[in-house]
Amino acid sequence: MTSSSVLRTGMPIGASIRRTSVGRMEIGFPSAAAPYESHFPGYPVIPAVSLLAAVVTAVQADLPSHSHLSELGPTVFRAPVIPGAVLNASVNTDPVNEWTDFRLQTGVNSRSVVRGTLKIAERSRLSALEEPQQAGSANATPSNAIYSRLPHRPPMLLISAWSEEAEITTDTVPVVGSPSEVRLLMLEAWAQAACLQLNTEKGSLPVIASIEFARWTAPTDSGSREQQWRHQIEDARDLPSTGMKRVEGRVELAGRSILEAAVVVAARPVI
């Protein structure tokens, strides 16, 4: 990635990325209202996974084309990012362990909004597992119960059905994007599943406060095929005196685990 080139992400709410110096870049998000009608109606906020997609895209630009996001380490989302925001990003990759530390700050007052770690791995390192078979999609419409519990709307709403037994099934609309972006959408779906564990009151929004870890354990195809992801909640516990909840579990595709993750979600008041 050269300083004159501009990269763009392929997420439902995308970003433009321009390198300003070694390890530093400027990330811009659209200001038009239309892209944010799905996240969230009446209170537009840039999705956490769109912020992550911009960082991943920038890091991958200097790596072989078959390198994809393989793991996220501790990542904290400190403040919401609004439409039209221009963020300054800094990344630093350790050549030994291959983990990349990153930070996103507002361009106006240098306020830190996201800080975390991620790892990009070559596809060959993930190919020891056999490619998952494509699962049939039920092509379900989200139920009224989900609409009442989550403020997301299509195309950012990825949950179509759920049960009190902590098993949640999601159906994606056809996803076009890189394998890394498909993985981040899978993480977004997982976070929505986690947010269903909250008792969200009127006047508040369920959000990702932090990611403890996210590990993709099998290759992920890109393209426009529909996939049915099944989310299994294995542990959900309140964090005392915080109003937050830690949710851990896995995502299955065609009966096999493809993502293991733990996130902390919170109900934040609408300002």
Give the number of other Cβ atoms within 10 Å of residue 114's Cβ: 22
For residue 137, name the pLDDT band (cuts at 50, 70, 90). Answer: very low
Torsion of CA 30, 82, 101, 235, to 10 degrees: -120
For residue 134, pLDDT beyond 90:
no
**pLDDT of the residue at 1:** 57
For residue 88, pLDDT beyond 70:
yes
User: Residue 121, SS3?
Assistant: strand
For residue 253, name the pLDDT band (cuts at 50, 70, 90). Answer: confident
Class of residue 191 by CB neighbours under 10 A (exposed 0-12, middle 13-18, buried 19+)? buried
CA 50 to CA 42: how far, in whole Å?
19
**pLDDT of the residue at 70:** 94
User: Residue 85, SS3?
Assistant: coil
Give the number of other Cβ atoms within 10 Å of residue 95's Cβ: 5
The shares of helix, strand and coil residues in the chain, as percent rounded to the nearest 5, are: 15, 40, 45
- On average, the pLDDT of the chain sits at 83
The radius of gyration of the chain's CA atoms, rounded to the nearest angstrom, is: 18
Average pLDDT over residues 204-233: 83
**pLDDT of the residue at 225:** 60
DSSP state of 95: T
CA angle 266, 181, 255 (to 5 degrees): 80
For residue 218, pLDDT beyond 80:
yes
Sign of CA dihedral 186, 189, 195, 200: positive
Q: Lowest-confidence range among 89-103, 124-138, 152-166?
A: 124-138
For residue 34, pLDDT beyond 70:
yes
Query: Hey, what are 271's tokens?
Result: 């300002």
